[in-house]
Amino acid sequence: MTEETNSKTFQLHPIGRVVMDESDGRCLLKIAPPYREALQQLDRFSHAMVFWWAHQMDIEDQRQILSTDLPYAPGEKVGVFACRAEYRPNPIAVTTLPVLAVDVEAGEVALPWIDAYDGSPLLDIKPYIPICDRIREVHVAPWMADWPMWMEDAPAYFAEHDTNFGD
């Protein structure tokens, strides 16, 4: 990579925002009118990958943090590319979630939860496609070796283990 390529900047256009509507136990992705057409047929997929901007961590000092102590693995210090910390050179986050409902006309995607903040800008939504997004033979870092391999098993695991996940 040349120095010229390395210093190139990119412009992102939010497609909407996260709305935490905990009154009915769901979260909504509110899509801006110019992008609502892009929701067509998303409801045919059970899950989607939601890319969002961790705007509360979009602080110049936070962008300079390149390693962190893991709250769920005491004694482990890792680079931010080896974890899902929100502070990173570009605070882009991704969460794979079940899609509960899609209303193209209203520009809404209902989700059971999301680990974003209320008002987080949305960057993109992609359907979860097993052939592209699932790998049969994987390994994880030792500090995650006992974590479940499937999202559906995660709530029970985290309820039973003191991982300090999210602290």
Q: What topology is assigned to 11-128 in CATH?
A: Elongation Factor Tu (Ef-tu); domain 3 (2.40.30)
- Structure confidence by residue, pLDDT tens digits, 17-57: 999 976 776 799 999 999 999 999 999 999 999 999 999 88
- Structure confidence by residue, pLDDT tens digits, 97-122: 999 999 999 999 999 989 999 999 99
What pTM does this model have?
Answer: 0.85
Domain ranges of the chain: 11-128
Q: Give a three-class secondary structure readout of the chain.
A: CCHHHHCCCCCCCCCEEEEEEHHHCEEEEEECHHHHHHHCCHHHCCEEEEEEECHHHCCHHHHCCCEEECCCCCCCEEEHHHCCCCCCCCCEEEEEEECCEEECCCCEEEECCCCCCCCCEEEEEEECCHHHHCCCCCCCCHHHCCCCCCHHHHHHHHHHCCCCCCC
pLDDT > 90: percent of the chain: 55
